[in-house]
Chain A
Amino acid sequence: MALQFELVTPEKLVRSEAVHMVVVPGSEGEFGVLEGHTPLMSTMRNGLVMIYKTDGAQPETIAIEGGFAEVNERGLTILAERVIG
Protein backbone atom coordinates (compact mmCIF):
# COMPACT_ATOMS: atom_id res chain seq x y z
CA MET A 1 0.00 0.00 0.00
CA ALA A 2 2.10 2.83 -1.21
CA LEU A 3 1.23 6.06 -2.89
CA GLN A 4 3.59 7.36 -5.54
CA PHE A 5 4.10 10.98 -4.55
CA GLU A 6 5.83 13.72 -6.51
CA LEU A 7 6.40 17.32 -5.53
CA VAL A 8 7.62 19.55 -8.34
CA THR A 9 8.44 23.24 -8.49
CA PRO A 10 9.41 25.17 -11.63
CA GLU A 11 12.99 25.07 -10.44
CA LYS A 12 13.31 21.40 -9.66
CA LEU A 13 11.82 18.05 -8.78
CA VAL A 14 11.70 18.26 -4.98
CA ARG A 15 10.37 14.82 -4.07
CA SER A 16 9.60 11.60 -5.84
CA GLU A 17 8.95 8.72 -3.50
CA ALA A 18 6.48 6.11 -2.33
CA VAL A 19 4.63 7.16 0.82
CA HIS A 20 1.63 6.08 2.84
CA MET A 21 -0.49 9.23 2.78
CA VAL A 22 -0.19 12.88 1.86
CA VAL A 23 -2.41 15.67 3.15
CA VAL A 24 -2.78 18.43 0.58
CA PRO A 25 -3.90 22.01 1.37
CA GLY A 26 -6.54 22.30 -1.34
CA SER A 27 -8.16 25.66 -2.01
CA GLU A 28 -11.49 24.26 -0.81
CA GLY A 29 -10.11 22.48 2.21
CA GLU A 30 -7.41 20.02 3.08
CA PHE A 31 -7.69 16.51 1.82
CA GLY A 32 -5.72 13.36 2.40
CA VAL A 33 -4.63 11.16 -0.45
CA LEU A 34 -4.06 7.45 -0.02
CA GLU A 35 -3.28 4.90 -2.65
CA GLY A 36 -6.21 4.25 -4.97
CA HIS A 37 -7.70 7.72 -4.51
CA THR A 38 -10.19 8.71 -7.18
CA PRO A 39 -8.68 10.86 -9.96
CA LEU A 40 -8.83 14.46 -8.83
CA MET A 41 -7.46 17.82 -9.74
CA SER A 42 -7.46 20.68 -7.31
CA THR A 43 -5.90 24.07 -6.94
CA MET A 44 -4.02 24.73 -3.73
CA ARG A 45 -3.66 27.61 -1.34
CA ASN A 46 -0.46 28.43 0.50
CA GLY A 47 -0.01 25.95 3.28
CA LEU A 48 1.61 22.80 4.52
CA VAL A 49 1.84 19.51 2.71
CA MET A 50 1.96 16.70 5.24
CA ILE A 51 3.68 13.52 4.23
CA TYR A 52 3.06 10.31 6.21
CA LYS A 53 5.79 7.87 5.30
CA THR A 54 4.02 4.97 7.03
CA ASP A 55 0.70 4.51 8.77
CA GLY A 56 0.69 6.44 12.03
CA ALA A 57 4.18 7.84 11.57
CA GLN A 58 5.07 11.39 12.49
CA PRO A 59 4.22 13.50 9.39
CA GLU A 60 6.89 15.43 7.57
CA THR A 61 5.69 18.90 6.58
CA ILE A 62 6.73 20.99 3.61
CA ALA A 63 5.50 24.55 3.24
CA ILE A 64 4.42 25.42 -0.29
CA GLU A 65 3.05 28.44 -2.06
CA GLY A 66 0.15 28.05 -4.47
CA GLY A 67 -0.07 25.63 -7.32
CA PHE A 68 -2.23 22.60 -7.88
CA ALA A 69 -2.41 18.92 -7.18
CA GLU A 70 -3.31 16.11 -9.51
CA VAL A 71 -4.25 12.60 -8.50
CA ASN A 72 -4.38 9.99 -11.21
CA GLU A 73 -3.91 6.26 -11.45
CA ARG A 74 -0.14 6.77 -11.30
CA GLY A 75 -0.24 8.61 -8.00
CA LEU A 76 -0.21 12.14 -6.66
CA THR A 77 1.61 15.00 -8.33
CA ILE A 78 1.86 18.38 -6.64
CA LEU A 79 2.90 21.27 -8.84
CA ALA A 80 3.82 24.03 -6.42
CA GLU A 81 4.81 27.54 -7.33
CA ARG A 82 7.44 27.59 -4.63
CA VAL A 83 8.70 25.48 -1.74
CA ILE A 84 9.66 27.41 1.36
CA GLY A 85 12.68 26.34 3.31
Chain B
Amino acid sequence: MASLKELKGRIASVKSTQKITKAKQMVASAKLRKAQAAAEAARPYAHRLERVMASLGSKVAISDSSPKLLAGTGKDQVHLIIVASSDRGLCGAFNSNIVKAARVKARELEAAGKTVRFYLVGRKGRAVIVREYPKQVDGYFDTTALRSQGFAEAQSIAAELIAMYERGQFDVAHLFYSKFRSALVQEPVGKQIIPVAIPTGDAPATNAAMEYEPDEEEILTELLPRNVTIQIFGALLENAASEQGASMTAMDNATRNAGELINDLTIVYNRTRQAAITTELIEIIAGAEAL
Protein backbone atom coordinates (compact mmCIF):
# COMPACT_ATOMS: atom_id res chain seq x y z
CA MET B 1 0.00 0.00 0.00
CA ALA B 2 1.16 3.47 -0.93
CA SER B 3 2.21 5.75 1.86
CA LEU B 4 0.12 8.73 2.91
CA LYS B 5 2.56 11.17 1.38
CA GLU B 6 2.53 9.39 -1.97
CA LEU B 7 -1.27 9.36 -2.04
CA LYS B 8 -1.38 13.06 -1.29
CA GLY B 9 0.99 13.73 -4.17
CA ARG B 10 -1.09 11.70 -6.58
CA ILE B 11 -4.30 13.43 -5.62
CA ALA B 12 -2.65 16.81 -6.16
CA SER B 13 -1.35 15.80 -9.57
CA VAL B 14 -4.70 14.43 -10.77
CA LYS B 15 -6.32 17.62 -9.52
CA SER B 16 -4.03 19.78 -11.61
CA THR B 17 -4.65 17.59 -14.66
CA GLN B 18 -8.35 18.05 -14.08
CA LYS B 19 -7.89 21.80 -14.01
CA ILE B 20 -6.22 21.69 -17.41
CA THR B 21 -8.84 19.48 -19.02
CA LYS B 22 -11.62 21.58 -17.58
CA ALA B 23 -10.08 24.78 -18.92
CA LYS B 24 -9.59 23.22 -22.33
CA GLN B 25 -13.18 22.04 -22.33
CA MET B 26 -14.48 25.52 -21.64
CA VAL B 27 -12.24 27.05 -24.28
CA ALA B 28 -13.42 24.46 -26.79
CA SER B 29 -17.08 25.07 -26.10
CA ALA B 30 -16.62 28.81 -26.53
CA LYS B 31 -14.71 28.29 -29.77
CA LEU B 32 -17.21 25.73 -30.98
CA ARG B 33 -19.96 28.29 -31.03
CA LYS B 34 -17.86 30.58 -33.19
CA ALA B 35 -16.71 27.83 -35.52
CA GLN B 36 -20.24 26.56 -35.91
CA ALA B 37 -21.51 30.03 -36.75
CA ALA B 38 -18.78 30.42 -39.37
CA ALA B 39 -19.63 27.07 -40.91
CA GLU B 40 -23.28 28.01 -41.05
CA ALA B 41 -22.55 31.43 -42.54
CA ALA B 42 -20.66 29.78 -45.39
CA ARG B 43 -23.52 27.53 -46.37
CA PRO B 44 -25.64 29.93 -48.47
CA TYR B 45 -22.76 30.62 -50.85
CA ALA B 46 -21.89 26.96 -51.27
CA HIS B 47 -25.54 26.14 -51.80
CA ARG B 48 -26.04 28.79 -54.46
CA LEU B 49 -22.80 27.97 -56.21
CA GLU B 50 -23.91 24.37 -56.40
CA ARG B 51 -27.21 25.41 -57.94
CA VAL B 52 -25.47 27.54 -60.53
CA MET B 53 -23.07 24.72 -61.32
CA ALA B 54 -25.97 22.36 -61.74
CA SER B 55 -27.80 24.63 -64.14
CA LEU B 56 -24.59 25.24 -66.11
CA GLY B 57 -23.60 21.61 -66.09
CA SER B 58 -26.84 20.60 -67.73
CA LYS B 59 -26.09 23.06 -70.57
CA VAL B 60 -22.47 22.35 -71.38
CA ALA B 61 -21.56 19.07 -72.97
CA ILE B 62 -18.30 17.52 -71.85
CA SER B 63 -15.98 17.31 -74.83
CA ASP B 64 -12.24 17.27 -75.44
CA SER B 65 -12.23 21.03 -75.57
CA SER B 66 -13.84 21.48 -72.16
CA PRO B 67 -11.62 22.54 -69.28
CA LYS B 68 -9.45 19.87 -67.71
CA LEU B 69 -10.89 20.54 -64.28
CA LEU B 70 -14.23 19.32 -65.55
CA ALA B 71 -13.30 16.65 -68.08
CA GLY B 72 -10.34 15.17 -66.19
CA THR B 73 -6.92 14.38 -67.63
CA GLY B 74 -8.20 11.33 -69.42
CA LYS B 75 -6.24 9.09 -67.05
CA ASP B 76 -6.99 7.57 -63.70
CA GLN B 77 -3.53 6.63 -62.53
CA VAL B 78 -2.23 9.11 -59.97
CA HIS B 79 -4.54 9.88 -57.08
CA LEU B 80 -3.85 12.75 -54.73
CA ILE B 81 -5.20 12.45 -51.23
CA ILE B 82 -5.62 15.71 -49.38
CA VAL B 83 -5.76 15.22 -45.64
CA ALA B 84 -7.04 18.15 -43.62
CA SER B 85 -6.31 17.80 -39.92
CA SER B 86 -6.00 20.15 -36.97
CA ASP B 87 -2.90 21.80 -35.55
CA ARG B 88 -3.61 21.08 -31.93
CA GLY B 89 -4.12 17.96 -29.96
CA LEU B 90 -6.33 17.33 -26.94
CA CYS B 91 -9.27 16.57 -29.17
CA GLY B 92 -9.70 12.84 -28.72
CA ALA B 93 -9.61 10.64 -31.78
CA PHE B 94 -10.43 13.52 -34.13
CA ASN B 95 -7.22 13.52 -36.13
CA SER B 96 -6.65 9.81 -36.07
CA ASN B 97 -10.14 9.23 -37.44
CA ILE B 98 -9.46 11.44 -40.44
CA VAL B 99 -6.08 9.84 -41.03
CA LYS B 100 -7.61 6.40 -40.70
CA ALA B 101 -10.23 7.17 -43.35
CA ALA B 102 -7.54 8.53 -45.66
CA ARG B 103 -5.38 5.46 -45.11
CA VAL B 104 -8.22 3.10 -45.93
CA LYS B 105 -8.71 4.96 -49.21
CA ALA B 106 -4.98 4.89 -49.92
CA ARG B 107 -4.80 1.12 -49.37
CA GLU B 108 -7.82 0.60 -51.56
CA LEU B 109 -6.29 2.64 -54.38
CA GLU B 110 -2.91 0.98 -54.06
CA ALA B 111 -4.54 -2.43 -54.15
CA ALA B 112 -6.16 -1.36 -57.41
CA GLY B 113 -2.71 -0.56 -58.80
CA LYS B 114 -2.98 3.23 -58.59
CA THR B 115 -0.27 5.61 -57.51
CA VAL B 116 -1.14 7.48 -54.35
CA ARG B 117 0.31 10.87 -53.43
CA PHE B 118 -0.49 13.02 -50.42
CA TYR B 119 -1.08 16.68 -49.79
CA LEU B 120 -1.39 17.62 -46.15
CA VAL B 121 -3.10 20.48 -44.39
CA GLY B 122 -2.59 20.87 -40.66
CA ARG B 123 0.13 19.66 -38.33
CA LYS B 124 -1.41 16.74 -36.47
CA GLY B 125 -2.18 14.50 -39.39
CA ARG B 126 1.20 15.17 -40.91
CA ALA B 127 3.41 13.12 -38.60
CA VAL B 128 1.41 9.95 -39.10
CA ILE B 129 1.22 10.17 -42.87
CA VAL B 130 4.88 11.14 -43.24
CA ARG B 131 5.88 8.16 -41.11
CA GLU B 132 3.84 5.74 -43.15
CA TYR B 133 4.34 7.15 -46.65
CA PRO B 134 7.58 9.13 -46.38
CA LYS B 135 8.19 9.35 -50.13
CA GLN B 136 4.68 10.07 -51.26
CA VAL B 137 4.00 13.44 -49.71
CA ASP B 138 3.88 16.14 -52.37
CA GLY B 139 2.96 19.14 -50.34
CA TYR B 140 2.16 20.50 -46.93
CA PHE B 141 0.16 23.56 -46.12
CA ASP B 142 1.19 25.04 -42.81
CA THR B 143 -1.63 26.52 -40.79
CA THR B 144 0.05 26.64 -37.38
CA ALA B 145 0.66 30.39 -37.51
CA LEU B 146 -2.99 31.16 -38.18
CA ARG B 147 -5.60 31.70 -35.54
CA SER B 148 -8.43 30.63 -37.76
CA GLN B 149 -8.52 29.24 -41.23
CA GLY B 150 -10.24 31.63 -43.56
CA PHE B 151 -11.09 31.99 -47.19
CA ALA B 152 -7.63 33.28 -48.10
CA GLU B 153 -6.07 30.00 -46.95
CA ALA B 154 -8.57 27.97 -48.93
CA GLN B 155 -7.73 30.08 -51.95
CA SER B 156 -4.00 29.48 -51.70
CA ILE B 157 -4.49 25.75 -51.14
CA ALA B 158 -6.78 25.57 -54.15
CA ALA B 159 -4.35 27.61 -56.28
CA GLU B 160 -1.52 25.25 -55.39
CA LEU B 161 -3.61 22.18 -56.11
CA ILE B 162 -4.80 23.51 -59.44
CA ALA B 163 -1.22 24.40 -60.42
CA MET B 164 -0.15 20.84 -59.56
CA TYR B 165 -3.05 19.53 -61.57
CA GLU B 166 -2.17 21.67 -64.58
CA ARG B 167 1.39 20.34 -64.43
CA GLY B 168 -0.05 16.84 -64.59
CA GLN B 169 1.14 15.78 -61.14
CA PHE B 170 -2.08 13.94 -60.45
CA ASP B 171 -5.28 12.86 -62.20
CA VAL B 172 -7.81 12.68 -59.39
CA ALA B 173 -7.90 14.43 -56.03
CA HIS B 174 -9.76 13.30 -52.94
CA LEU B 175 -10.27 15.51 -49.92
CA PHE B 176 -10.48 14.02 -46.45
CA TYR B 177 -11.83 15.98 -43.52
CA SER B 178 -14.25 15.62 -40.68
CA LYS B 179 -17.85 16.56 -41.17
CA PHE B 180 -19.51 18.28 -38.26
CA ARG B 181 -22.75 16.57 -37.29
CA SER B 182 -23.03 17.73 -33.69
CA ALA B 183 -20.76 18.43 -30.76
CA LEU B 184 -20.83 14.71 -30.03
CA VAL B 185 -20.65 13.29 -33.53
CA GLN B 186 -18.00 14.09 -36.11
CA GLU B 187 -17.83 11.97 -39.15
CA PRO B 188 -14.64 11.62 -41.18
CA VAL B 189 -15.53 11.83 -44.86
CA GLY B 190 -13.70 11.75 -48.15
CA LYS B 191 -14.87 13.20 -51.43
CA GLN B 192 -13.51 13.76 -54.87
CA ILE B 193 -12.87 17.40 -55.64
CA ILE B 194 -10.85 17.20 -58.89
CA PRO B 195 -12.10 16.64 -61.55
CA VAL B 196 -15.13 18.61 -60.46
CA ALA B 197 -18.24 16.54 -60.20
CA ILE B 198 -21.20 18.49 -61.55
CA PRO B 199 -24.06 18.20 -59.10
CA THR B 200 -27.20 16.97 -60.77
CA GLY B 201 -30.86 16.83 -59.95
CA ASP B 202 -31.18 20.28 -58.41
CA ALA B 203 -31.16 22.10 -61.74
CA PRO B 204 -34.08 24.47 -62.04
CA ALA B 205 -36.16 23.45 -65.02
CA THR B 206 -37.38 26.88 -66.08
CA ASN B 207 -34.10 28.41 -67.22
CA ALA B 208 -34.45 27.54 -70.85
CA ALA B 209 -34.18 31.16 -71.89
CA MET B 210 -31.17 31.94 -69.70
CA GLU B 211 -28.77 34.47 -71.17
CA TYR B 212 -25.07 34.13 -70.53
CA GLU B 213 -22.45 36.80 -70.44
CA PRO B 214 -19.78 36.06 -71.77
CA ASP B 215 -20.93 32.49 -72.65
CA GLU B 216 -21.52 29.19 -70.88
CA GLU B 217 -18.05 27.78 -71.45
CA GLU B 218 -16.26 30.86 -70.20
CA ILE B 219 -18.40 31.16 -67.13
CA LEU B 220 -17.85 27.51 -66.39
CA THR B 221 -14.10 27.90 -66.82
CA GLU B 222 -14.14 30.64 -64.25
CA LEU B 223 -16.47 28.77 -61.97
CA LEU B 224 -14.50 25.55 -61.73
CA PRO B 225 -11.47 26.81 -59.78
CA ARG B 226 -13.87 28.70 -57.55
CA ASN B 227 -15.75 25.51 -56.90
CA VAL B 228 -12.55 23.77 -55.79
CA THR B 229 -11.80 26.70 -53.48
CA ILE B 230 -15.27 26.58 -51.96
CA GLN B 231 -15.07 22.86 -51.39
CA ILE B 232 -11.78 23.28 -49.56
CA PHE B 233 -13.07 26.28 -47.63
CA GLY B 234 -16.12 24.33 -46.57
CA ALA B 235 -13.94 21.44 -45.47
CA LEU B 236 -11.71 23.73 -43.42
CA LEU B 237 -14.70 25.22 -41.65
CA GLU B 238 -16.30 21.86 -40.99
CA ASN B 239 -12.98 20.66 -39.70
CA ALA B 240 -12.61 23.62 -37.36
CA ALA B 241 -16.06 23.05 -35.90
CA SER B 242 -15.48 19.31 -35.62
CA GLU B 243 -12.16 19.81 -33.89
CA GLN B 244 -13.75 21.97 -31.21
CA GLY B 245 -16.64 19.55 -30.83
CA ALA B 246 -14.33 16.57 -30.49
CA SER B 247 -12.14 18.50 -28.09
CA MET B 248 -15.11 19.46 -25.97
CA THR B 249 -16.34 15.88 -25.72
CA ALA B 250 -12.91 14.44 -25.06
CA MET B 251 -12.12 17.00 -22.40
CA ASP B 252 -15.49 16.52 -20.74
CA ASN B 253 -14.75 12.82 -20.45
CA ALA B 254 -11.25 13.47 -19.19
CA THR B 255 -12.54 15.87 -16.54
CA ARG B 256 -15.10 13.35 -15.37
CA ASN B 257 -12.53 10.55 -15.24
CA ALA B 258 -10.17 12.73 -13.26
CA GLY B 259 -12.99 13.46 -10.80
CA GLU B 260 -13.66 9.76 -10.31
CA LEU B 261 -9.97 9.08 -9.84
CA ILE B 262 -9.75 11.82 -7.22
CA ASN B 263 -12.72 10.34 -5.33
CA ASP B 264 -11.18 6.85 -5.34
CA LEU B 265 -7.81 8.14 -4.24
CA THR B 266 -9.38 10.22 -1.49
CA ILE B 267 -11.15 7.16 -0.10
CA VAL B 268 -7.92 5.17 -0.10
CA TYR B 269 -6.13 8.12 1.50
CA ASN B 270 -8.72 8.41 4.31
CA ARG B 271 -8.69 4.66 4.99
CA THR B 272 -4.93 4.60 5.17
CA ARG B 273 -4.91 7.56 7.52
CA GLN B 274 -7.53 5.93 9.73
CA ALA B 275 -5.54 2.68 9.79
CA ALA B 276 -2.43 4.56 10.80
CA ILE B 277 -4.26 6.28 13.68
CA THR B 278 -5.72 2.98 14.88
CA THR B 279 -2.33 1.31 14.82
CA GLU B 280 -0.83 4.17 16.75
CA LEU B 281 -3.58 3.99 19.41
CA ILE B 282 -3.17 0.23 19.81
CA GLU B 283 0.53 0.75 20.29
CA ILE B 284 0.00 3.40 22.96
CA ILE B 285 -2.62 1.33 24.83
CA ALA B 286 -0.53 -1.82 24.65
CA GLY B 287 2.44 0.18 25.93
CA ALA B 288 0.43 1.61 28.85
CA GLU B 289 -0.94 -1.83 29.82
CA ALA B 290 2.53 -3.34 29.88
CA LEU B 291 3.61 -0.96 32.63
Chain A residues with a Cβ under 8 A of chain B: 6, 8-13, 26-28, 38-43, 68, 70, 72-73, 77, 79, 81-82
Chain B's nearest CB lies how many Å from the CB of A34? 15
Which of chain A's residues have a CB closer than 8 A to the CB of B134? none
A11 contacts B151, CB within 8 Å?
yes
Q: Jot down 7 A-B pairs with beta carbons below 8 A, ordered by A.
A: A6-B44, A11-B45, A12-B41, A27-B214, A38-B211, A77-B48, A82-B151
Chain B residues with a Cβ under 8 A of chain A: 38, 41-42, 44-46, 48-49, 52, 56, 150-151, 154, 204, 206-207, 209-214, 218-219, 222-223, 226, 229-230, 233
A11 contacts B42, CB within 8 Å?
yes
Number of A-B contacts (CB under 8 A): 74
Chain A's nearest CB lies how many Å from the CB of B49? 6
User: Given contacts A43-B218, A68-B222, are A8 and B48 in contact (CB under 8 A)?
Assistant: yes
User: Given contacts A39-B207, A41-B213, are A79 and B41 in contact (CB under 8 A)?
Assistant: no
Q: Which residue of A lies closest to B47 (CB)?
A: A8
Complex CA gap A42/B226 in Å reads 15
Complex CA gap A61/B45 in Å reads 21
Which of chain B's residues have a CB closer than 8 A to the CB of A42? 212-213, 219
Task: From A10, A40, A79, A81, name the one whose CB has the most chain B CB atoms within 10 angstroms.
Answer: A10
